[in-house]
Structures are given as structure tokens and as C-alpha cells.
Amino acid sequence: MLHVGDVDLDHGILNIRHSKGPSQHYVALHDTMLDLLKRYDVAIRALHPEREYFFPAHNGSCHMRAWVQCNFREVWSMYNSSYATAYELRHHYATENINQWIGEGFEFDSKLLYLSKSMGHSTQESTRYYYSLVPTMADILEKLSGRGFDDIVPEVDDEEGQ
């Protein structure tokens, strides 16, 4: 449901208006993704010069979730023998970021805030779920801070963080 006007290819910013919750958020694109989106935009503009959606379906509307899931599985299975869903890329994004924090010094609060905002969570507590996907993070937090995991990262329902 990403509209053409919500993709700033000059500054590399996505304006995410429709996500899991009611709040919109912005995502800064990595240079490599920005380059891919610029190339895609040139190609799709030739086919759909007046498109409303950045990724239009054949009839000009947006792609539905079922279409994304089906096509992701089809492409994924062409190159991988393991099972995966498109949504797992979100989990991968979170855990890769958390794993990178281990060797970069320890600025837990600001990094948690940035990750939370980039994922569109309404609160930092919603990001807590992803720490369960990085099992050694609790031990590292306790070692570096002298405080237990639950003292630093507040408890939330798993459903809220997914």
C-alpha cells in the first residue's frame, strides 16, 4: 500500500502510512536499497507512468498480502530448501541489528529506540519480543550492565511485539 508520493528517492526515506498499528513512521533506506528502488522506479514508470502505488499490481491497485506471501514463497523456494515467509525478513532485520550491537559498544537505550522506530513500533517495549530471538543478549546485558534482562527490557505480550 506504499504510494508513489511516500517514497522519497532523493533523500532515501519511506513514509510508512499503513503498518500493523495506526501510527505512521519513516524508514531511512540503506544506499544499496535506495539504488535498487531508483532502478525499479525507472523501469516501472515506463510501464505505469501515472501509477498510484509504488509497487502496483497489474490492474493498478496495490498488491494484497496473499499475493506477496505466495510470490515470496515461490521465489524463495527456487533458491532455498528451507521454509520461510516474507514476514520473517522483519524478524531477521531485528535480530541482525541486535547482533551488531554486541561489538559496537553499549548504548542500549538509543539503539533500542532507533530499532523500535524503524520497525514502526508504537513503544520501545514492543521491540522486546525480538530479544527472545537472540538468546545470548540477556547474558550480555547482565554482564555489561550488572542488571538482569527483565530490569532493563520491560515485559510485553509476545503478540504485541510480533
Q: Which range marks the domain in which residue 145 is found? A: 88-161
Mean pLDDT of the chain: 80
Backbone angles phi, psi at 133, to 5 degrees: -85, -10
How far is the C-alpha of 47 from the C-alpha of 155, rounded, in Å? 48
- Whether the per-residue pLDDT at 149 is higher than 60: the answer is no
The verdict on residue 83 lying in a domain is no
Q: Clarify whether residues 103 and 140 are in a common domain.
A: yes
Number of domains in the chain: 2
Q: Clarify whether residues 111 and 155 are in a common domain.
A: yes
The verdict on residue 139 lying in a domain is yes
Give CA angle at 86 (99, 88), nearest 5°: 30
The verdict on residue 71 lying in a domain is no
pLDDT-derived band at 78 (thresholds 50, 70, 90) equals very high
Q: Which three cell numbers stand for residue 103?
A: 561489538
Q: Clarify whether residues 94 and 156 are in a common domain.
A: yes
pTM recorded for the entire structure: 0.64
SS3 content of the chain, % helix, strand, coil (to 5): 55, 10, 40
